[in-house]
Amino acid sequence: MLISIIVPTYKPQAYLYECFESLESQTAGLHAFEMIVILNGEREPYFTEIQRYLSNSSLNSRLLYTPVNGASNARNIALDSLDSGQNRYVVFLDDDDKLSPNFIEEMAKHAQPGVIVASNSESFYDNEPNKRLPNAYVGKCHEKNFNKDYDIFSYRCFLSTVWGKIIPVDMIGKTRFNTRFAIGEDSLFSFALSNKIEKMTLTPPDAYYLRRVRSESVSRKPRSRFSIISNGLKLCLAYTTVYLRNPFGYHFLFFISRIVATFMTMFRSRKKVTI
């Protein structure tokens, strides 16, 4: 089994190296995975700093660069660099997040073709790294569905993101992230894969993806009402386009849930944005 951990990064700060440290601490051992870092946007001094760190690390790593900004494009470059194979898997990891020490070990235990394995999730504020926040959406979903039989509608909460999962490369195939979107691209990518999912399974609760909450992250920056509505409508069109390519292959209620969730996001954001 070969596991590739894909880490896109843009103008990284100290948090990137905390992310690396969480990988160096994996109980599965450093032989169990490779890390692919894709620096996007401004190159220096970031490329040299990352290169210096990795040269002194035991991580099995590759460092790629693209001048084009955006996590979606960076992830696509990493996916394009992979060979397909029935025993090859991908983990998407944001550069400011961390993994529990047993994350890779538990993922590897459950990984198999046609199956997406999802972990528990915890969060912390950037300025309070030792304080855990109450269970967020994915964490509550994990608690609710742990030890329950899989059906895609009940597990749909896990498909709103790409982090906290291990995905077979063969399942991804030629599917790529839509670079038109900076918000909602994870959910769209996951929906596009959903017709190939035979099953989803969950790791034990103590294997978790640790999310850092930063006020300056892309998803938390204030956006205009027009921007939110425009992005939401384009997302709905993109979901519909994917669904209509294979209407009998995708779960209809899951498709509808993506449309409803997008409209709910637009509605809930109205009072939190700039005009």
pLDDT at position 268: 75
Predicted confidence (pLDDT) at residue 242 exceeds the cutoff of 60: yes
CA-to-CA dists, residue 146 to 63, 166, 182, 240, angstroms: 36, 17, 31, 30
Query: Which of 54-63, 140-149, 192-201 shows the lowest mean pLDDT across its residues?
Result: 140-149
Q: What digits encode the pLDDT tens for the residues 171-196?
A: 999 999 999 998 999 999 999 999 99
- Quick one: 209 and 181 in the same domain? yes
Predicted confidence (pLDDT) at residue 220 exceeds the cutoff of 60: no
Query: Which of 118-127, 152-161, 219-228, 251-260 shows the lowest mean pLDDT across its residues?
Result: 219-228
Q: How confident is the model at residue 225 (pLDDT cuts 50, 70, 90)?
A: confident
Q: What digits encode the pLDDT tens for the residues 131-171?
A: 777 667 899 999 999 999 999 999 999 999 999 999 999 99
Return the closest-CA partner of residue 107 out of 94, 124, 123, 120: 120
- Quick one: 178 and 251 in the same domain? no
Which CATH number characterizes residue 141's domain? Answer: 3.90.550.10
For residues 90-104, average pLDDT: 98
User: Cis peptide before 168, with omega less than 30 degrees from 0?
Assistant: no
pLDDT at position 267: 80
- Quick one: 243 and 108 in the same domain? no
Q: The pTM is what?
A: 0.93
**Antiparallel, parallel or unpaired: β 208-213 and 120-125:** parallel
Given 193, 217, 241, the domain boundary residue is 217
CA-to-CA dists, residue 222 to 75, 96, 158, angstroms: 24, 20, 25
At 232, phi and psi to the nearest 5?
A: -65, -45
